[in-house]
Copies of this chain bind each other. A is one copy, B any other.
Amino acid sequence: MRIGMLVSGGDCPGLNAAIRGAVLRGVDVLGFEMIGFIDGWRGVIEDNWIPLDRRAVRGISPLGGTILGTSRVSPFSDEAGGAEGIKRRMAELELDGLITIGGNGTQTVAMMLSEAGIPVLGLPKTIDNDLDGTDFTFGFDTAVSIATEAIDRLRTTGESHRRCMVLEVMGRDAGWIALHAGMAGGAQVILLPEFPESVEQVCTWVESVRDRGRSPLVVVAEGFRLEGMDSVSTRAGLDGFGRPRLGGIAEVLAPIIEERTGIESRATVLGHVQRGGVPTAFDRVLATRAGIKAADAVQAGEWGTMVSLRGNEMETVPLSDAVDKLKSVPESRYEEVRLLFG
């Protein structure tokens, strides 16, 4: 069996551990030949790939990023030629199947290729944890750890200056990083894309924290929207959807909080540090196991599925189940942290 592997979309801690897991299992145990395309689908188009064997993946598990590179190039671009183009390329390279490592977008594409008859197996990764069909995706735990460490640091400077610190973390559509980091760090206000709130409500929470004698710490996901913010949006640079025009939502919120509550406020936008560097042990284990499971699933011919963590077990689920809808933070989970508020 000859298998191609690629990474598509944003990078994510654990990618290298996943690649290594798949190669150690696939090549050494199951006897596959494996190749890795450079920079995702671009490597497929441009015939840019490297052979993958034990030597190629030696010692890479603690490394952030991906040895294969990644890009946002789509197989459905003109250059790639869609399913037919990919089939042709696979035939030329004598590939029996593909393992595509990526998030929601990548797995949707994988499903479309699968429906067009291409043997594809999905290996999920996203720091946002918003992929349905799996308990966790690797990368998420590392992102949460980094955000939590930032909260731990901001808390001491906030309390020394009696300031309100506003930390913006990743999460455009789902607030999992903000939810977990906020809970781990003991943030007193947690604002998620799933639950828009009014300026009045946010400020009431902030003031109530101050009234208990503490320095408020607000964690806000980048995709959070302020409700009913017409007048403020004009001043602070929100677009028609209540999202900030420039900079992050934290940079919009902090001055509003300061103006309305009189509490000196400071914004921090954590940004790309959340997605790089050494993965946590949790992510390395999850990624390694996902890679191993991907090789096993290929061996078993489970094309059209995606590797999934269920409890402690690695399983596979149909790609169509996984990409059906975004995994949002449910009301019940938000309610858990609401007891910290106000």
- Residues on A close to B: CB < 8 A? 7, 10-11, 15, 17, 20, 24-25, 28-29, 39, 58-59, 61-66, 69-71, 135-136, 141, 144-150, 152-162, 165, 180-181, 183-186, 214, 246-247, 251, 266-273, 275-278, 280-282, 284-285, 288-289, 292, 310-312, 336, 339-340
- From A24, which residue of chain B is reached at the shortest CB distance? B339
What B residues does A136 contact at CB under 8 A? 312
Give A269 to B28 CA distance when docked, in angstroms: 32
What B residues does A69 contact at CB under 8 A? 159-162
Are A281 and B145 interface neighbours, CB within 8 A?
A: yes
What B residues does A39 contact at CB under 8 A? 162
Are B160 and A340 interface neighbours, CB within 8 A?
A: no
What B residues does A282 contact at CB under 8 A? 141, 144-145, 184, 280, 282
Are B29 and A339 interface neighbours, CB within 8 A?
A: yes
What B residues does A10 contact at CB under 8 A? 161
Question: Interface centre among A71, A145, A281, A289, by most B CB within 10 Å?
Answer: A281
- Determine which of B147, B271, B278 lies in contact with A269 in the assembled complex, contact meaning CB atoms within 8 Å: B271
Are B272 and A266 interface neighbours, CB within 8 A?
A: yes
Give A185 to B153 CA distance when docked, in angstroms: 18
5 closest pairs, A vs B, by CB? A64-B156, A153-B277, A65-B156, A157-B276, A153-B276
What B residues does A58 contact at CB under 8 A? 214
The distance from the CB of A244 to the nearest CB of chain B, in whole angstroms, is: 11
Are B161 and A62 interface neighbours, CB within 8 A?
A: no
Are A148 and B268 interface neighbours, CB within 8 A?
A: no
Are B277 and A156 interface neighbours, CB within 8 A?
A: yes
Question: Interface centre among A66, A162, A185, A284, by most B CB within 10 Å?
Answer: A284
